[in-house]
Amino acid sequence: MQIQGQVVIITGGASGLGEATAKRLAQAQAKVIVLDRQLSQAQAIAQTLQGAAYECDVTREDQVTQVLQTVQREHGIAKVCVNCAGIAPGQRIVGKQGPMPLADFEQVIAVNLIGTFNVLRLVAAQMFEASPMGEDGERGVIINTASVAAFEGQIGQAAYSASKGGVVGLTLPAAREFAKFGIRVNTIAPGLMETPMMAGMSEEVRKKLIEQALFPKRLGHPDEYARLVSHIIENPMINGATLRLDGAVHLPPK
């Protein structure tokens, strides 16, 4: 699908990978719609890109339903949706304070897995109504964000890994279900990317993680994620896939 002229929804677009994606797709002349629970940051980014921003918690059925209706009314049907909203708190299953509270596990699943599914199902329903485009009759492209932690979760990442494993798991059944409507669904599983999510780690932890990368020996730049998003949108043969973007990092147990 060509990027130019498409309405593109980016959840979590106020920071990190989502922000970089918003910038790259706006440069390619898409109409970028940033959905984030941090409204002022989302607005600041959207303004520089001649896009639009809406406050939205991806876990909330009512909010996402309402925001997507507003987006369709004001901008038209989004043909591309990039799900970047996510959280990554680390916690042992049984730590010094005892077993991890169930509510903490539920919160990570709610944002990363249920939030992704919530947006995907509602955005896909709108895409069903779009006119097919191009020689393949494409109606939409949905790109989710998992993590290499879906495959190699470290100690302290049980909730995060479970949530991202869920995102990987729903990718193929969603692509299979939406194929007859000309909608592709793919997931990117990044390794270690230089974003505010990673800013909290100490220099020592950072060094240790970088050592695990095969090549290049550094954290990934957010724009490298955005470049893969652009490619997935433009290449119709990429469907139902989870693509690692990680410099061949394979994380050790801790």
Specify the DSSP element, H or E, that contains 228: helix 222-234
Tell me the per-residue interface mask from 169 to 198 with ligand NAD, x by CB under 6 A, - otherwise: ---------------------x-xx-xxxx
Q: Are 143 and 82 in contact (CB under 8 A)?
A: yes
Asked whether position 115 contacts ligand NAD by CB under 6 A, the answer is yes
| Cα–Cα distance, 11 to 136 (Å, whole number) | 27
Asked whether position 140 contacts ligand NAD by CB under 6 A, the answer is no
| Cα–Cα distance, 74 to 41 (Å, whole number) | 21
Of these, 6, 145, 157, 186, which contacts ligand NAD (CB under 6 A)?
A: 145
Tell me the per-residue interface mask from 24 to 53 with ligand NAD, x by CB under 6 A, - otherwise: ------------xxx---------------
| Secondary structure letter of residue 112 according to DSSP | I
Cβ 200 to ligand NAD shortest distance, Å? 10
Q: Are 160 and 216 in contact (CB under 8 A)?
A: no
Is the Cβ of residue 8 or residue 17 nearer to ligand NAD in the bound state? 17
Query: 252 Cβ partners below 8 Å, 6+ apart?
Result: 154, 212
CA distances from 32 to 11, 18, 96, 139, 254 (A): 11, 11, 45, 17, 38
Of these, 9, 33, 58, 158, which contacts ligand NAD (CB under 6 A)?
A: 58
Asked whether position 168 contacts ligand NAD by CB under 6 A, the answer is no
* Residue owning tokens 């896009």: 51
Residues 198-217 binding ligand NAD (CB under 6 A) are 198
| Cα–Cα distance, 92 to 86 (Å, whole number) | 19
Q: Is 160 a catalytic residue?
A: yes
Q: Which residues bind ligand NAD (CB under 6 A)?
A: 11-12, 14-18, 36-38, 56-59, 84-88, 111-112, 115, 145, 147, 190, 192-193, 195-198
Q: Which residues does the annotation mark as catalytic?
A: 160
